[in-house]
Amino acid sequence: MVTKNDQDPTPERRNEAEYSLSRVRELAKLGCVSYGSKNVQRDIENLPYVLEDVQKCLQLLRDCHFHHTERYAPGEPWLDVYHVAYPGPTGVVDELYIKLKLDRDCILVVLASFHRER
């Protein structure tokens, strides 16, 4: 684990997922996915994806797509980061950066990022 200095804006990182990927896929299949901010919604619309595309993409995530886990301050939730090539609705394969968490009760996938890799 990389530790974080209070003055450093970079997130603390770990190399192990915080959340069960099988649970993420299960919740995506059930349609239990929400956008954590308007920025996430805008990025998804700009792809252009709809919620069903996002849910299908999340269902296809595998351990090999996991990149790292991060959090921005002690006490804040960890966010799992995935990089995946996904054939989007326009027929183009998008190299996606996905950052997510499960809500406290583990009944909802909350997206913090969902966009092409920048």
Rounded alpha-carbon distances, angstroms, from residue 83 to 7, 53, 57: 28, 16, 11
Ranges of each domain in the chain: 12-116
φ/ψ of 84, rounded to 5, equals -145, 140
Q: Is the pLDDT of residue 111 over 50?
A: yes
pLDDT of 7 reads: 54
Q: Is the pLDDT of residue 9 over 90?
A: no
Give the pLDDT mean for 43-51: 96
* Amino acid identity, position 25: R
φ/ψ of 42, rounded to 5, equals -65, -45
Rounded distance between C-alpha atoms, residue 112 and residue 56, angstroms: 17
- What is the maximal distance between C-alpha atoms in the chain? 44
pLDDT of 1 reads: 46
Looking at the structure, give the CATH architecture of the domain made up of residues 12-116: 2-Layer Sandwich (3.30)
Per-residue model confidence as pLDDT tens digits over 69-100: 999 999 999 999 999 999 999 899 999 999 99
